[in-house]
A and B are shown apart, each in its own frame.
Chain A
């Protein structure tokens, strides 16, 4: 009866479809500008780990502390001159890259390992490494083990979606050992399972195991981290691809904190150093003139942030070593002699020059 209506309407649909297909095809690679978005918004959104003492603990009331968290504060201090202009969002191991790619967070500082596949496959660019780590395995002290090779037939608790899973899988198959895996979405459940003997061992990055070992001891469970290191895990902040202005800020805040430590600039002597820089390196770092000369401006963030941004960072947060001793040393991760000592002391912490 109404077929005389259906035909024209159907044609309209087809034409609309074709029109959509024809005129929508001019999309190129859109360049991001997260720095502008952050400045517009008035605060930074930082994706952190919520449940690892020493690295990132997001409290039930929204405050946070830890090494990663201090770097978030440093970014906020660099952009706004105020370390508190930052909002923390929990990023789990299973959703962190999605959160970053979908712009739920501006920067991901969450003990994320820099790997080739992540760098190429994902919408992620990695800033300098803030912590050199490796996969390890922790067992209860009562098991009386001294090597990972004794773990044949054990059940291992691992966080879901981490590079740890791959490292353990590789290591055990290379050694010809068997194991079963018990995965969890978050550390609290995993920790409970470990205490409760639901698994025999806990695998994660060694630094985190150390931190957990420490709080486990405080709660009455003795655990030991076995000596073998199963893989290399360089951890650092990451941002989205094609977002170079913001990436530069993140990159040079981290580098600046490392340089500040090399040059002995601390939050205590920062004012004095800025007023009277001992050498050109410190002057350039703090964005001031050396010996009465004109102040240097490196143009990081295309002048959208103050050229003296490192002053705020060091004043309000501190240099690399200060942040480390404030957070990681507190959970028993000794820095001296580890990979994370300054290159001057035989470690790997080294930054390109700021000039």
Chain B
């Protein structure tokens, strides 16, 4: 009786909402109906593809390749340690800095972590799979690459996602499930601990400690990878690594250039402007191709550069290219600081370095957080370009899977590209949400 009344009131409030928001004028009604129809059709088609038509098994059996490529199985611990470091840092920073746990950010974080670690637990399976396969046909035998024939089934077989899900769960993960659970515990626990810490201790000291931890630990992650030959850095892992190293250094290069642009010495200003304009004039692709194919055209220095391992060269290009754009963003921030701030800090006797570190830069960076987030997202998306210079990133790996497993992957373009898109999308969306959260948290100027 009461439940049906409550039900009726919910229905009627929904109807009221729809009437006031969606159908309050004939024009709005037409718009709403058209949008609902278009969304419905698109949603139906997509759901039908995802649930009944797609061959997700192809993704399931290749998931190690999608995420870590040919990373040696015995070295996976390096990735796990790196992941733990990053998750702890992110969680602590989030807890201290932003405080309140926003459910949707947590949800995206969890999905991202699951997506990015799914490939790690499957070593056993991939290792035992034979890549050299024989195809019997017309009395002859052909060697075809990279096919796990025991996992092949007909496309269109009723919900294949169910099958692949069960396949994913059934594959022995060993300790990986525990590690994954640990990762979540650290993610949530770190954010919670950070929040408690921020109440217990004054914020600036904590923030400085966390900043120092970032600066110290991110290079650690990279050092951790040196035990594995760079030719095994592939797929999403390669993208993340290039992004982490490139992004890290590009911030400092950008900072230096931005300060250079506002320097009182005209030669420094001039050089900084010249550098920024030259780098920004050409597309990243051209710089990457140039770094790849450069030999001794620039004499001994160019030759020394061309002898560096390609992955490091690409990281250098990302750092210097990203730096030029970040410099422009930070310059905007520096210019937005009123002259009075400079004068006031000089008046209380701060040195130039103290003035910038404690007074100017915190305000300048805070003012440009949205633009800065945008630059980092762009840098992340730019890692897709590695595919154009024969480095095997996620996108290139996807092409290789499509080309190397023709007997099961033929025509499965949608599945593969949707998964690759999901990987890129999740990370950039997470970055944009984190940037948004930081922006709200730091909107002190409007207070």
Partners in one complex: yes
A62-B232, A95-B390, A192-B411 known; A218 vs B144 contact (CB < 8 Å): yes
Of the candidates A6, A57, A215, the one whose C-beta lies within 8 Å of that of B135 is A215
Question: How far does the alpha carbon of A95 sit from the alpha carbon of B387 in the complex, in Å?
Answer: 13
**In the complex, B126 has a CB within 8 A of chain A:** yes
B410 touches A92 (CB 8 A): no
**In the complex, A177 has a CB within 8 A of chain B:** no
Write out the residue numbers on chain A whose beta carbons fall within 8 Å of the beta carbon of B91.
none
A50 touches B137 (CB 8 A): no
**In the complex, A51 has a CB within 8 A of chain B:** yes
B145 touches A90 (CB 8 A): no
A30-B296, A61-B126, A331-B142 known; A51 vs B306 contact (CB < 8 Å): no
B138 touches A90 (CB 8 A): no
Write out the residue numbers on chain A whose beta carbons fall within 8 Å of the beta carbon of B404.
50-51, 57-60, 188
Q: Return the CB mask of B127-162 against A: 1 if under 8 Å, else 0.
A: 000011001011011111110000000000000000
Stretch at the interface among B3-11, B62-70, B80-88, B350-358: B62-70
Stretch at the interface among B183-191, B330-338, B395-403: B395-403
Stretch at the interface among B245-253, B287-295, B316-324, B425-433: B287-295
Question: For window 304-347 of chain B, which residues contact chain A by CB distance below 8 Å?
Answer: 306-307, 310
Name the residue of chain B whose CB is nearest to the CB of A12.
B267
**In the complex, A272 has a CB within 8 A of chain B:** no
Q: Nearest Cβ in chain A — how far from B123, in angstroms?
A: 11
A215 touches B144 (CB 8 A): yes
Write out the residue numbers on chain B whose beta carbons fall within 8 Å of the beta carbon of A24.
299
B403 touches A186 (CB 8 A): yes
Write out the residue numbers on chain A whose beta carbons fall within 8 Å of the beta carbon of B69.
60-62
Question: How far does the alpha carbon of A17 sit from the alpha carbon of B230 in the complex, in Å?
Answer: 38
A59 touches B145 (CB 8 A): yes
A6-B266, A57-B404, A215-B406 known; A90 vs B390 contact (CB < 8 Å): yes
A61-B70, A217-B138 known; A102 vs B407 contact (CB < 8 Å): no
A60-B69, A102-B293 known; A188 vs B299 contact (CB < 8 Å): no
A51-B404, A58-B400, A59-B131 known; A99 vs B390 contact (CB < 8 Å): yes
B403 touches A51 (CB 8 A): yes
**In the complex, B231 has a CB within 8 A of chain A:** yes
B390 touches A63 (CB 8 A): no
B144 touches A60 (CB 8 A): no
Name the residue of chain B whose CB is nearest to the CB of A326.
B143
A62 touches B144 (CB 8 A): no
Write out the residue numbers on chain B whose beta carbons fall within 8 Å of the beta carbon of A330.
140-143
Question: How far does the alpha carbon of A327 sit from the alpha carbon of B145 in the complex, in Å?
Answer: 13
Question: How far does the alpha carbon of A51 sit from the alpha carbon of B405 in the complex, in Å?
Answer: 10
**In the complex, A89 has a CB within 8 A of chain B:** yes
**In the complex, B177 has a CB within 8 A of chain A:** no
B142 touches A103 (CB 8 A): no
Of the candidates A59, A103, A191, the one whose C-beta lies within 8 Å of that of B146 is A59
A61 touches B390 (CB 8 A): no
Q: Nearest Cβ in chain A — how far from B20, in angstroms?
A: 50
Write out the residue numbers on chain B whose beta carbons fall within 8 Å of the beta carbon of A95.
293, 390
**In the complex, A14 has a CB within 8 A of chain B:** no
A102 touches B145 (CB 8 A): no
Q: Nearest Cβ in chain A — how far from B62, in angstroms?
A: 7
A188 touches B399 (CB 8 A): yes
B142 touches A53 (CB 8 A): yes
A61 touches B65 (CB 8 A): yes
A102-B294, A102-B295, A103-B306 known; A192 vs B142 contact (CB < 8 Å): no
Q: Which 3 A-B pairs have the closest CB atoms?
A: A188-B403, A62-B70, A57-B145
Interface, chain A (partner B; CB < 8 A): 2, 5-6, 9, 24, 27, 30, 50-51, 53-54, 57-63, 65, 87, 89-92, 95, 98-99, 101-104, 186-189, 191-192, 195, 214-215, 217-219, 327, 330-332
